[in-house]
Homo-oligomer: A and B are copies of this chain.
Amino acid sequence: MKTNRLEAFSDGVLAIIITIMVLELKAPHSADLDALRPLLPSLLTYLLSFVYLGIYWNNHHHLLHATPRINGAIMWANLNLLFWLSLVPFFTAWLGENHSAPWPAALYGGVLLMAAVSYTILQTTIVSHLGRDSKLARSLGSDLKGRLSIAMYLAAIGFAWLHPTISDLLYIGVALIWIIPDRRAQAAFED
């Protein structure tokens, strides 16, 4: 089974997810600047989710480029990742409207955590298909960034009940860690 139709389908789904989030930003009826002010948290949450989906698209691109062949398990691991990412617009909208409440802050982290775990499962499934001696397996190493992100998501979910702003800062922090493309998979691909 070839990788390219999986890539094309994933690209399509990711492009739609990243774009339909903006549909949650409803233009106000009033023409005043004040009418936009309540939308500001929604806009900032949209920006954060846009960056996250950009990171996923980019890392997914590198990961699949290092994957010459796929199987059924990889296909389902990939759909599982797309499922969790498809829930990001919902939780982005909920957090945008309620940015200082514990549950929206915690569940935004929850869906990001599930996406991160799903990405790890996809990566592991690919590595076990290609073999432990593949270039990809060697280049991924200990996956420090992946494990650090999961720890930060868990911390952010915990802080949601103490101080949701700390949760928000942790989500921004994870995005900053990943904004640099994953050089390990990239290296495996460029080899």
Contacts and interface: CB of A to CB of B under 8 A. Distances in A.
Interface stretch (A91-99, A121-129, A135-143): A91-99
Copies, count: 4
B27 A27 contact: no
B61 A5 contact: yes
A159 interface: no
Interface band, chain A: 35 or more
Contact of A57 (B9, B29, B58): B9
Interface stretch (A144-152, A165-173, A178-186): A178-186
A17 B14 contact: no
Nearest to A22: B86
A5 B9 contact: no
A-B interface, 7 closest residue pairs, ranked by CB to CB distance from nearest: A12-B15, A31-B101, A31-B98, A27-B93, A27-B94, A16-B19, A72-B181
